[in-house]
Structure 1
Amino acid sequence: MAEFPALKPAFTIKIELDAPLAVGTGVRQTSLQIIPFTKGVFKTEESFDPAFEAQVVGTGNDYIHVDPDGKHMRLNANGVLKTQDGALLYVNYTGVITITEAEQKVLGGTAEEGSTPWGNSFTHLTFETGDERYKDLENRVFVSKGRFNVQKGKPTVVEYRVSQVVQG
């Protein structure tokens, strides 16, 4: 048995981001931005069990603080998903984005069409549900890496590739 955990591909997330809401500077001494999202899809990889495809329902929010030096963003996002078979799942993810020139352009609205590189955004996901078919998701550990996808005239999409942490 390996001493370090391994990663098993679990699902891909694509979320359309709405316009940010600049709340302002609070006790953290950094500005709070809230980015709502109302559209998004979670789709499991073929080898993942339980298999599902889920859509964001209602409005989720990504609460973001940029570090005072401007080099990193701290994420805390949450929302509700509805699976193709009617189950409701609450999802929360926290993480850190390293802000490079590519992310600065996306956040500033000046990015060209295309995607930012993988590897500047990492998150940890947790789930809650009352549906027994998906209850085991609450007991698993998930991590992801992300990127932004930009298409002119369309909302920016944040995409995550999520893996389950498993015994190596």
Structure 2
Amino acid sequence: MVKCGFNTLVPAMVFKLRIWSLYPMGELPTGGLWSNGNGVGTLVSVPGFEPFLNATTVHMDDFNVRGSADGPYTLNAQGILRTDDNHYLGLYGKGLLANTPHVQAIMANETDVQPTRWGELDTFTTWTFQASGPYAELTKSTFVANIRIAPSDNSDTISYIDYRFSKVLPGPACEEGKDDVIETVWNAGEL
């Protein structure tokens, strides 16, 4: 299979959030809901990822919309983090969160519900940074994240959400005549 022209992913960071509030903001004409969640947590680079990052949230907001009762949640997260060397970073995330029965059970705080498994949710989010100084390189990158959700274990928590960020890198360039498989399928209208 020809791999040229397709992006690759590199494991980069783990973002662990404790959602401590969820404010219902209203119903939508479609029967869905609009709400805001606040969280606190940490963002840490995986070994080998540069620039190394160890940060704690100063503030984290997520305005989310669920367009219909069984539709996915549309995430729109933004926050400020402070690194362990006293730099501030802006963090922005967007994407979808599947509204499966398992997610609904966690959000309803049902008893004996287990966390979702990594890869269980057919969903993803994209993340970007606003940064300067030693972290300026982060602003030139886009990250995608897999999501895991865990239920509350105390009265001060709505849920826990963990993200595994991967940095998106451009794939290898296509050489003349090496992309024949993709071009043939594309031109035949099969893609």
Does the TM-score normalized on the shorter chain lie above 0.5?
yes
Describe the SS at the equivalent of 2:105: helix
CA distance in 2, matches of 1:111, 1:90: 36
Counterpart residue number, 2:160: 157
Runs of 4+ that moved beyond 3 A: 26-30
CA shift for structure 1 position 28? 7.6
- Cα deviation digits, residues 12-63 of structure 1 (max 9, x gap): 01000012100103578632110111x2000001121000110001x32111
Q: Which runs of 5+ in 2 are unaligned?
A: 172-191
The structure whose residues are more often strand, as a share, is 1
> Using the alignment, how far apart are the partners of 2:28 and 2:110 within structure 1?
27
1:122 — aligned with what? 124
User: Is 1:22–1:32's contact at 8 Å kept on the other side of the alignment?
Assistant: yes
- Cα distance in structure 2, aligned partners of 1:100 and 1:27: 22
Larger Rg: 2
Equivalent residues in 2 for 1:16-165, closer than 5 Å:
16-25=18-27, 30-37=32-39, 39-57=40-58, 59-110=59-110, 112=112, 114-119=114-119, 120=121, 121-129=123-131, 131-153=132-154, 155=157, 156-165=159-168
Question: In the TM superposition, what is the alpha-carbon distance from 1:150 to its structure 2 partner?
Answer: 2.5
User: What is the aligned residue count?
Assistant: 165
Q: Deviations over 1:101-130 (max 9, x none)?
A: 11000111115253113332310001002x
CA-based RMSD of the aligned residues comes to 1.9
Counterpart secondary structure, 1:51? coil
Report what 2:9 is aligned to.
7
Give the Cα separation in 1 of the matches to 2:95 and 2:149. Answer: 15
Comparing 156-165 with 143-152, greater Cα deviation is found at: 143-152
Normalised by the length of structure 2, the TM-score is 0.79
Structure 1 runs not aligned, ≥5 long: none
Paired residues of 2:145 and 2:163 also in contact (CA < 8 A): yes
2:129–2:139: 8 Å Cα contact kept in structure 1?
A: yes
TM-score w.r.t. the length of structure 1 is 0.90
Q: Is the 8 A contact 1:113 1:151 kept in 2?
A: no
Q: Identity of paired residues, percent?
A: 24
> Contact 1:63–1:75 (CA<8 Å) still a contact in 2?
yes
